[in-house]
Amino acid sequence: MSAARPLLIVVNEDWSFPSALVVTMRNLLKWLSVDEFIVASAYLPRRDVRLSGDDDTGMRVHRVLNPPVTGISWRLDELIRRVYFRTTWPAHALERVSRRYDCGAIVAVYPDVYALTAGQQAAARLSVPFAVYLHDTIVEGTQGSRIHAYAKKVQASVFKPEVLLFAMSEGLADLLLEKYSLNAIPLPHCYNEPPAVPVAQRDNAPAKTALFAGGIYEINRPAVARAARAATRAGYRIVCTSQNAADMLVQDGLPADWVQVRSLPSRADYLALLAAQSALFVALSWPDESPIHRDELATIFSTKAPEYLGSGRPILVHCPEDYFLAAFFRKHDCGLVVSDRDDDALVSAWMQLRDAPDTAARVSRNARAVLPYFDGARIAATFREHMALIQRSAPRDART
């Protein structure tokens, strides 16, 4: 895309905070030249965890989406955001950055509906192409929330033939085609590190460990708790990377002395932590045990999944068989998928990973083999190709 004008990437999140959204976008943008894009992001006060400063050396980041939030009250801040993003200020801020760098297109990243609105308004004012990178469903993902009615309006405005759509997973792209007759280009998570060197697990180790990375939310709480309780019955101690997740598991019936927390260190240490466990697990709730829309649950591909696959450790996946997460792991035979909510079935699966070294070795080997699917150079090349195409196809007055 060297002959094209730079892209304006709109990420309505604090670029210094290691949220799943920010980490995913950093991993993608690392594969582009820094002169190919500008990031327009937000600043959020009272964030205690920051990413290390060398993660995005040279990236041009402008924190121009700045509603006057307090960082103290979530409810108050949501009200402030709602008012701020329904003014013209955010679009004007994006327009100023775009004009400064002569950006040739705008890409808004969802799961923030306000990023879509501001990005689309700025693109219209500048007469430049507009694209959306969907990490989640819009209408389905906001079901039951206060923003749902507004999200429906925003979706109607961006689900248009002239808007280029990228999707975080093939499952989400398939849903958009089947449900909305929209063609979206899959851009999976990038995994930028080499696979971990397999760590031999000692038979006489004091205890088997099963690690769950990340947070527990409405999308996964019952399923994570069920898988964790079964793991303890099979003799595994549970390791969490979040204190909040550990507390929730104890609330949901796990013995406190069987759950330990390893707080999120540097990324290198985090990947080493994954490789040092006996097994890893990921879970998504069934539709009848979660308020989240079934189509949202069924299209999720956890941000942690590529990191798990690169760890060299066997993975247990617990979710319905018709979810994309289950389909992916079954297709590539890169994890043990349990789509039965029966406790004994889960215990049996954990024992299989514990007592059948050939099974554990097979799924770990296949996990390493599927890593090229998440190759950052390949994914960034797809992104670059399609963004260059819509710039070349733009009306002449949008390119001058």
Q: What is the pLDDT of residues 77-127, one digit of tens each?
A: 889 989 999 999 999 999 999 999 999 999 999 999 999 999 999 999 999
What pTM was estimated for this model as a whole? Answer: 0.91
For position 1, what pLDDT does the model report? Answer: 46
- Report how far residue 155's alpha carbon sits from residue 392's, in angstroms, rounded to the nearest whole number: 26
For 122-138, give one letter per residue: b (16+ CB within 10 A) or e.
bbeebebbbbbbbbbbb
In CATH terms, the fold of domain 7-190+375-398 is Rossmann fold (3.40.50)
For position 110, what pLDDT does the model report? Answer: 96
- Report how far residue 326's alpha carbon sits from residue 132's, in angstroms, rounded to the nearest whole number: 26
pLDDT band at 204 (very low <50, low <70, confident <90, very high): low
- Report how far residue 61's alpha carbon sits from residue 14's, in angstroms, rounded to the nearest whole number: 10
Class of domain 208-373: alpha beta
Q: Which helix (H) or strand (E) holds 90?
A: helix 89-101
pLDDT band at 74 (very low <50, low <70, confident <90, very high): confident
- Report how far residue 321's alpha carbon sits from residue 40's, in angstroms, rounded to the nearest whole number: 38
299: left (phi over 0), alpha (psi -120 to 50) or beta: alpha
Q: Is the dihedral of CA 13, 19, 25, 31 positive or negative?
A: positive
Dump pLDDT digits (tens) for 45-57.
Answer: 755 445 544 445 6
Q: What angle do CA 380, 133, 212 make, to 5 degrees?
A: 85
Q: CATH 3.40.50.2000 residue ranges in the chain?
A: 7-190+375-398, 208-373
